[in-house]
Amino acid sequence: MTRNGAFAAGGLATVALAGVLIARAVAPTVAVEGYLLALGAITLLALARAARTAAPRAPSTLLLAPPQGRGGPHRPRDLERFEREVYLSAGDGFYLHHRLRPILREIAAAQLAGRRGIDLDRDESARAALGEEAWAFLRADRREPQRWERGLSPRELARIVDAIEAV
């Protein structure tokens, strides 16, 4: 909005205020409050436009970023989702039990079945193959944590993942 445009909009708001006051369409205090609100909005718009024209234009970070699908590394959505699950599970045991644990159970079951022919839920040898810490976390009858109970620390989670990978 140019300076002349701001003055014109302010003048129009003043004429509208006068019309509302003469017609007694609303209480005078409401009309004045609306008028002041309109003047404030006009002033903010004029200041924002002035700042935008005065500041040198830097290229947008969106324009500088490599386009999706062409060039640059691409991160799979499943990896990003899994990272989010790990992050959220660190602070919330309930979330860990219901979101991350089923994923790790699925991976462990596939590792045990594929490499050793062991069923995670039926064979006692799964306990020996995984180790006590991983088995305690992955076993089917694990106690469900209370709401807001602490999740696993990154070190504890790393040990469980290492045990699954070692199968």
Do residues 126 and 118 make contact, with C-beta atoms less than 8 angstroms apart? yes
Provide the residue ranges of all domains of the chain, joining segments of one domain with +: 3-56, 77-166
| Residue 19 DSSP symbol | H
Chain segment 43-72, per-residue pLDDT in tens: 999 888 888 787 766 666 655 555 555 555
Nearby residues of 84 by Cβ (< 8 Å), 6 or more positions away: none
3-state secondary structure (DSSP) of residue 107: helix
Torsion angle of C-alpha atoms 127, 133, 134, 137, degrees rounded to 10: 100
Which among 142, 139, 141, 132 is positioned nearest to 163, based on CA atoms? 132
Gyration radius of the chain's alpha carbons: 32
Query: Global pTM?
Result: 0.53
For residues 107 and 66, the model is more confident at 107
3-state secondary structure (DSSP) of residue 122: coil
Question: Roughly how many angstroms between the first and final C-alpha of the chain, as a whole number?
Answer: 68
| CA distance linking residue 55 with residue 37, whole number of Å | 27
For residues 83 and 63, the model is more confident at 83
Q: What are phi and psi of 85, to 5 degrees?
A: -60, -45
Chain segment 2-29, per-residue pLDDT in tens: 778 888 888 999 999 999 999 988 999 9
